Amino acid sequence: MDTDGISVLVVVQPEDLYYLTGLYTIGDAAPQALVLPAGADPFLIARLIEFDLVPKLSWVAEVFTCPDSASIHEVFCHTVAKCLRSGCRVGLQLASISAAHYLRLRTFFDACHVECVDASKTVEKARLQKFEFELGCIRDASSMSEAALTAALGSMKPGQLLSDLHSTAYAALIAAGSEVPGYMPIVRSTDPSGHGSWLPKEQVCPGNLVFIEHSACKFGHHAPLMRTAFVLGEGESSPPAWLLEAERLIQKTFDVCLPMMVPGAKAKDIDKAGREIMLSNTSELKMSARLAYSTGSTATQPTGHAGWGDADFSLVGNNEAELQDGMTFHFIPWFQKYTQPSGPLGLSDTVLVTSDGGKRFGTLPLKMTVLNPDGSEWQGPEIA
């Protein structure tokens, strides 16, 4: 707040509320707000029906409630007025409120002779660097994510509904100790990049890919990862060349880019290095997505950003910003294959930025899973 010159910060983004107070809800997040006046105690504004969550989940002592029959705008203005001084600067998370809400707030703040500034990134900037408690949560979530993904891959067989595979993955996450994650497991086959997950009656089929991505959650902290399987078609005795090439290039991207993930490195430079490797493929595989995005810290349900993503910082070509020690990313070198058999191909992990380069939280091998048409695991030579 001092750095941004903010006198009163109004926090409404669910991830930021969770990070600062421990408060979250599966209900309507719009009426929630944390008000942080410089030099004074903070207070919360919450729905009356969720008043009991505040002492249960949060350390904030003072809370003002709003019944659903009342105007949250009027309740907010009445409560925040006590900490406004003429000429002060109020930080609003403009990226998280509607234009209509902002216009009404602007009218109120103008009448109070205070200045409104955009504070969408004020809390996020602090959340990007994880402290030790958070890193411990991410490590635990990573172990859960890997256990559940191993269980899902182990249950896979031709003819299986993708919805059943999704159910297995989610049940395994909960059995491993996960809280409700910020997004459900993604399971898809022939769709390279469109809708998020399976369609009704869609099956695991010989000759097709199966892509799984999910994350466990501990105290709101996530550790996502993705893996890809391929079921050999009838008459196929070994994985196709494009699958081998995809795996080799993804592994090379990890090998080249993780050592670059040190404090001070530019996000765009790492993306460039990884993208050059991925796009050197000779199998018409596309790479349309960013190379990594910030994850790990207090993503919430309902989700704010990318499900288990926790901020807008990405390893992408237009990001000039520098990495900082303690940042965590979901490192996602993955291909979109639009020729038949179509589908996504990805191997990923959650990665920590350190002075020695990026360090994986997980230990699962970065390899494609290959099944025979009868569902048994392919026993050919190592894919590398």
At 131-166, the pLDDT tens digits run 999 999 999 999 999 999 999 999 999 999 999 999
Contact criterion met (CB below 8 Å) for 299 and 328:
no
Comparing 75-79, 192-196, 372-376, which segment has the lowest mean pLDDT? 192-196
At 236-268, the pLDDT tens digits run 999 999 999 999 999 999 999 999 999 999 999
pLDDT at res. 304: 42
Judge if 8-126 and 129-371 fold alike in CATH terms.
Answer: no
User: Per-domain residue ranges for the chain?
Assistant: 8-126, 129-371
CA 350, CA 4: separation in Å to the nearest integer? 30
Taking all residues of the chain, what is their mean pLDDT, rounded to a whole number? Answer: 92
Contact criterion met (CB below 8 Å) for 300 and 24:
yes
pLDDT at res. 306: 46
At 201-213, the pLDDT tens digits run 999 999 999 999 9
Under CATH, what is the fold of the domain 129-371?
A: Creatine Amidinohydrolase (3.90.230)
At 291-324, the pLDDT tens digits run 999 998 766 554 444 466 777 899 999 999 999 9
**Domain with residues 8-126, CATH architecture:** 3-Layer(aba) Sandwich (3.40)
State yes or no: pLDDT of 195 exceeds 70: no
**Contacts by 62-69 with C-beta closer than 8 Å and gap 24+?**
66/31
Confidence of residue 96 (pLDDT cuts 50, 70, 90): confident
**What is the reported pTM?**
0.91
State yes or no: pLDDT of 24 exceeds 50: yes
3-state helix, strand, coil in the chain (%, to 5): 30, 25, 45
